[in-house]
Amino acid sequence: MLRPQDTSTRERKNLNGLWQFVLDPDRRGRAAGWQSAALVAARGMPVPASYNDVAADAAVRDHVGPVWYQRTVWVPAGWAGRRIVLHLESATHRATVWVNDAEVVSHEGGYTPFEVDVTDHVTPGRQSRITVEVDNTLTFQTIPPGLVEETDHGKRQRYWHDFFNYAGLHRSVWLYSTDPAHLSDVTVVTDLDGTDGVIHYDVTAEAGPDTRVTVVLHDAEGNQVATGEGADGTLTVPQVHRWAPGDGYLYDLELLLWRGEDLLDSYHQSVGVRTVRVDGIRFLINDEPFYFTGFGKHEDVPVIGKGHNDAYLVHDFELLDWIGANSFRTSHYPYSEDVIDYADRHGIVLIDETAAVGLNMGLGGGIFGAQGYTTFSPETANEVTQQVHAQAIRELIARDKNHPSVVLWSIANEPESETEAAEHYFRPLFDVAREADPTRPVGFVNVMLAPYGTCRVSQFADVLMLNRYYGWYVQTGDLDAAEAAWEAELRGWAGENKPIIITEYGADTYPGLHSVVANSPWTEEYQVEYLDMNHRVFDRIDAVVGEQVWNFADFTTSSGIMRVGGNRKGVFTRDRQPKAAAHALRRRWRGGR
Ligand code: GCB
């Protein structure tokens, strides 16, 4: 799938703005025919946004089940005879779409795009009604998993992950048009040969045998640097300007589809020329050792929840620059494509994660979710879940395969990994990822419940990603004991001869809470001392090639006695003000800069 784009042959219409919106807690909508009439008693709902915090109403915030979005759109008269496509960048967690009265597409998974050819369902020059049923329900057969409890007080959604189950149309919705014969996908793989850049490209098109593909490569200044004939091939760029951390240099590869001398379709693919490789304990970008600094993040802001917002996008990257971070993980789901594009352009390195979070019934001893379940069993996470998970991996890689910023796939966060069942579940999923992308390393994020010597899944990973909370969840307030225990475990992992990235370490911190006495959890001082302790340990172990603090900013969670207005491990508050730790990290990561 190609992301919608305006080019000399393509035209987009953005469908963001206010849509009509109703809750459907009793799942009456379809039987009542909501898909084929104007929604009544609807309120306005912005797209893109999570719906949960927009209304001042607990029924909206805590809703479980379908909601309906609807709007009308004028289909441009000039699109007569063209192929017309409806594209949703995401619908969390599943959706069914109608155009006028026709059901046109359904999609499972809340963070990857989907589209459908609606040429036969719309009339250029006329209005069409678009209706989307979006369902936020999580079950054992969804990614992420969850469970709906029927209580005396209504339905309650439980899940085993530590962030609020925001839902809705979080990203842009587009209507776009192409010629009936069109380009449909491209895969770009880059390499280096001395000072030459090597670009392998493979274009697919839905077009007749009487068509042909050519490509033209321009540098960032607009100079033509290479051309190619045919749907696949290799371009060589002498004296290539490499894409590198901190230097998001992008070439523009224009793909052209022709019939005779007629240009049918044109599409622009950004290309960053770089290599990624693991060599023993080193993580190499362009054959140079790379050390990750940065964060696990969330898409989470006031009012709009997980809705994409360009102001927060730019502001967050400004803060990453301010603090000296060179990377982040898209914890715990694929982020908006606008975020990935921006990372490409700004040389920020990404660990790209699926939404497989909370596949672990042992987590939090029931602090999250519900207690008393087995993670992997015929009734819980089973073969169907595994298939859904495989599809989530495929869709993530299909979407993000051409982004130079993405250097590592994370196929799950903190799943159960110490059991035989986990080994069986995950082994084929690593194969799925490697088949979809043989060029990047693959890993998953290991949890403290599967410490060194017990994990049965990390054997499949190219890189070890560890989340550890020594000094927070264990040895709370005793950083000396934490330091010793952490170093002892990490030295075990270091013997595996793989690079280790610490993908989470953090301490909840209430901004404004202070103490002159060391070892006082929740204070700003403790967060600084805690990070210092971790850094002492990392600096003593060569196999550690990265440190990503949990979390960039405070974020919203479900209710619980462990969370005070959400998770407070942010180095910035939710409204992006620095805690003392932000200044301390800036000193470590920027040095004198
Ligand atoms: C973790 C999870 C993350 C939580 C964090 C915490 O290990 O991966 O989603 O938010 O711990 O703060 O407990």
In the chain, where the domains are located: 11-178, 182-274, 277-590
- Ligand 1 close to Cβ of residue 413 (< 6 A): yes
- pLDDT of residue 443 exceeding 70, the answer is yes
- In the chain, the percentage of residues whose pLDDT exceeds 90 is 96
- Ligand 1 close to Cβ of residue 509 (< 6 A): no
Q: What is the DSSP letter of 119?
A: G
The pLDDT of residue 369 is 64
Q: How far is the CA of 156 from the centre of ligand 1 (A)?
A: 22
- pLDDT of residue 366 exceeding 60, the answer is no
Q: How far is the CA of 546 from the centre of ligand 1 (A)?
A: 18
Which residues, in sequence order, are CB contacts of 221 under 8 Å at separation 6+? none
The phi, psi pair for 318, rounded to 5°, reads -60, -40
The pLDDT of residue 591 is 87
Tokens read off for 309:
């917002």
* Count of helix runs (H) and strand runs (E) in the chain: 8, 30
- Residue of 115, 337, 414, 483 marked catalytic: 414
Query: Which amino acid is it at 114?
Result: F
- Ligand 1 close to Cβ of residue 51 (< 6 A): no
Q: How far is the CA of 64 from the centre of ligand 1 (A)?
A: 23
The pLDDT of residue 365 is 54
Asked, colleague to colleague, whether 11-178 and 182-274 share their fold, the answer is no
Neighbours of 516 (CB within 10 A): 7
The pLDDT of residue 371 is 79
**Whether 340 contacts 405, CB under 8 Å:** yes
- Ligand 1 close to Cβ of residue 467 (< 6 A): yes
- In the chain, the percentage of residues whose pLDDT exceeds 70 is 99
Q: How far is the CA of 293 from the centre of ligand 1 (A)?
A: 18
534-549 burial by CB neighbour count: b if 16+ within 10 A, else e? bbebbeebebbbbbbb
The average pLDDT across 320-349 equals 98
Q: Which of 128, 107, 108 is nearest to 118 (CA)?
A: 128
Atom 2 (ligand 1) nearest CA: 162
The average pLDDT across 396-423 equals 98
Q: How confident is the model at residue 48 (pLDDT cuts 50, 70, 90)?
A: very high
Q: Is 149 a catalytic residue?
A: no
3-state SS class at 133: strand
Q: How far is the CA of 307 from the centre of ligand 1 (A)?
A: 21
Query: Which of 414, 444, 465 has most ligand 1 atoms within 8 Å of its beta carbon, as the pocket-test mutant?
Result: 414
- Ligand 1 close to Cβ of residue 508 (< 6 A): no
Q: How confident is the model at residue 372 (pLDDT cuts 50, 70, 90)?
A: confident
Could you give the strand order of the β-sheet that contains 83-88, starting from the edge strand earlier in sequence?
A: 11-14, 173-178, 83-88, 114-117
Atom 13 (ligand 1) nearest CA: 162
The pLDDT of residue 42 is 85
Nearest-atom number in ligand 1 for the CA of 506 is 12
Q: Which fold has domain 182-274?
A: Immunoglobulin-like (2.60.40)
Residue ranges with strand state E in 272-353:
276-279, 282-285, 288-289, 292-296, 327-329, 349-353
Name residue, tokens 């776009």.
176
- Residue of 337, 504, 524, 547 marked catalytic: 504
The pLDDT of residue 251 is 98
- Ligand 1 close to Cβ of residue 414 (< 6 A): yes
The pLDDT of residue 592 is 62
Which residues, in sequence order, are CB contacts of 16 under 8 Å at separation 6+? 46, 47, 48, 172, 173
Report the mean per-residue pLDDT for the chain. Answer: 97
Query: Which of 159, 160, 161, 162 has most ligand 1 atoms within 8 Å of its beta carbon, as the pocket-test mutant?
Result: 162
The pLDDT of residue 368 is 65
- Ligand 1 close to Cβ of residue 265 (< 6 A): no
The pLDDT of residue 363 is 82
- Ligand 1 close to Cβ of residue 504 (< 6 A): yes
- pLDDT of residue 367 exceeding 70, the answer is no
The average pLDDT across 59-71 equals 98
- Ligand 1 close to Cβ of residue 162 (< 6 A): yes
Neighbours of 305 (CB within 10 A): 25
Query: Which of 467, 473, 557 has most ligand 1 atoms within 8 Å of its beta carbon, as the pocket-test mutant?
Result: 467
Tokens read off for 583:
């200044």
The pLDDT of residue 2 is 98
Q: pLDDT per residue over 146-197, tens digit each?
A: 999 999 999 999 999 999 999 999 999 999 999 999 999 999 999 999 999 9
Alpha-carbon gap, residue 312 to 86, rounded angstroms: 26
The pLDDT of residue 213 is 98
Q: What is the DSSP letter of 413?
A: E
Correct CATH for 11-178 of 3.40.50.360, 1.10.3720.10, 2.60.120.260, 3.40.109.10? 2.60.120.260
**Whether 137 contacts 93, CB under 8 Å:** yes
What Rg value do the Cα atoms of the chain yield, rounded? 24
The pLDDT of residue 364 is 60
The average pLDDT across 78-93 equals 98
- pLDDT of residue 101 exceeding 80, the answer is yes
Whole-structure pTM value? 0.98
Query: Which of 297, 299, 504, 563 has most ligand 1 atoms within 8 Å of its beta carbon, as the pocket-test mutant?
Result: 504
The pLDDT of residue 41 is 86
Q: Is 229 a catalytic residue?
A: no
Which residues, in sequence order, are CB contacts of 28 under 8 Å at separation 6+? none
Q: How far is the CA of 444 from the centre of ligand 1 (A)?
A: 14
The average pLDDT across 563-583 equals 97
- pLDDT of residue 556 exceeding 80, the answer is yes
Nearest-atom number in ligand 1 for the CA of 562 is 13
The average pLDDT across 423-445 equals 98
Residues constituting the chain: 593
Instruction: Write the CATH number of the domain with boundaries 277-590.
Output: 3.20.20.80
The average pLDDT across 477-488 equals 98
The pLDDT of residue 593 is 67
Q: What is the DSSP letter of 58?
A: H
